[in-house]
Chain A
Amino acid sequence: MALHIQIDAEEYMNAPITNRGTLTWLLQRISGLFLVVFLFTHMNINHLTLGERLIDFTLVNERLAGSTGWKIFYILFVPCAAFHAANGLWGIIADYRPSDSVRRVALGALFLMGLALTYFGADTLIHLFQV
């Protein structure tokens, strides 16, 4: 039995990506791996600090405005998190085999959520990047 599962997994891995389910499965893992790096860094700098001083606009602005590295970091971080959240919630809903009408509404709502998170996140970054 275990052997069969092994073979199936390898066939699945090597199969061409021809349907949306396989593509989003792969994108969920890729965005997740990016988020591992982003979140570990972000959490240690902004949440698991020893609280030497309060985080305010000046502190964040000084760190981000002068650094191309931090700009790239956050520009990639925002869409990764937005996609991972929306696609993850869709995975949960899809698990319960919703009817077609529920599927449409849920997909529309999650798509909007992802877009809104990306838009407001990006616009927030632009303001935090200003010199």
Chain B
Amino acid sequence: MRDDKNFVSNLINETRLNPNIGTWSYLLHRITGIGLAVYLLMHTWVLSSARTSPEAFTERLGTVQSPLFHFLEFFLSVAVFWHLLNGIRITVADFFSWTRIQKPLFWIVVVLFLLMMVWNVIAVWPKILGH
């Protein structure tokens, strides 16, 4: 792994060289994790406008509640709930030595994730359309 040059093709190659559920879990956890860390920086910047004035906060929060930002917010919830649910799977596998049932746990995560995404669509879709 160390000698491979490209970080992204490394990640993709992994799924080809080791085509198992655990690899997809690792890959998705890593991608959503990086995305969420970047989002956290932007989120803190947006909210830190409260340090200037209440008006600045309201104005900047108004900007990020447009249909375009609600569309992006849909993908925020995708990343948050995938990372959250799969993180629980990793933690219980670690803490309770449940590594031998990590594959069924993965499918439980998928089902719970899809349920959250139904909620996500119901909540965000009208806002994307601008209602």
A: residues with CB less than 8 A from B are: 2, 5-6, 9-10, 13, 29, 32-33, 35-36, 39-40, 43, 47-51, 54-58, 60-61, 81-82, 85-86, 88-89, 92, 96-97, 113, 117, 120-121, 123-124, 127-128
Task: Give chain A residues whose Cβ lies under 8 Å from the Cβ of B77.
Answer: 43, 47-48
Task: Give chain B residues whose Cβ lies under 8 Å from the Cβ of A13.
Answer: 94-95, 97
A124 to B56, CA, bound (A): 12
A6 with B44: CB separation less than 8 A: no
A57 with B54: CB separation less than 8 A: yes
B61 with A89: CB separation less than 8 A: no
Interchain CB contact (< 8 A) of A39 among B30, B55, B84 = B84
Task: Give chain B residues whose Cβ lies under 8 Å from the Cβ of A29.
Answer: 90-91, 94-95
Task: Give chain B residues whose Cβ lies under 8 Å from the Cβ of A55.
Answer: 61, 65
**How many pairs, one residue from A and one from B, have CB atoms within 8 Å of each other in the complex?**
108
B50 with A43: CB separation less than 8 A: no
**Which of chain B's residues has its CB closest to A33's CB?**
B91
Interchain CB contact (< 8 A) of B44 among A32, A58, A121 = A121
Task: Give chain B residues whose Cβ lies under 8 Å from the Cβ of A123.
Answer: 48, 51
B76 with A47: CB separation less than 8 A: yes
Task: Give chain B residues whose Cβ lies under 8 Å from the Cβ of A61.
Answer: 54
What interface size band does chain B fall in?
35 or more
With both chains docked as a complex, state the minimum distance between the C-beta of A114 and any C-beta of chain B, in angstroms. 10
The majority secondary structure among interface residues of chain B is helix
Interchain CB contact (< 8 A) of A88 among B7, B37, B84 = B37
Known contacts A85-B37, A89-B37; A6/B91 CB under 8 A: no
Task: Give chain A residues whose Cβ lies under 8 Å from the Cβ of B30.
Answer: 92
A48 with B120: CB separation less than 8 A: yes
**Which of chain A's residues has its CB closest to B93's CB?**
A9
Q: Does B57 contact A (CB under 8 A)?
A: yes
Known contacts A6-B97, A97-B2; A124/B47 CB under 8 A: yes
With both chains docked as a complex, state the minimum distance between the C-beta of A45 and any C-beta of chain B, in angstroms. 11
Known contacts A43-B77, A96-B1; A57/B50 CB under 8 A: yes
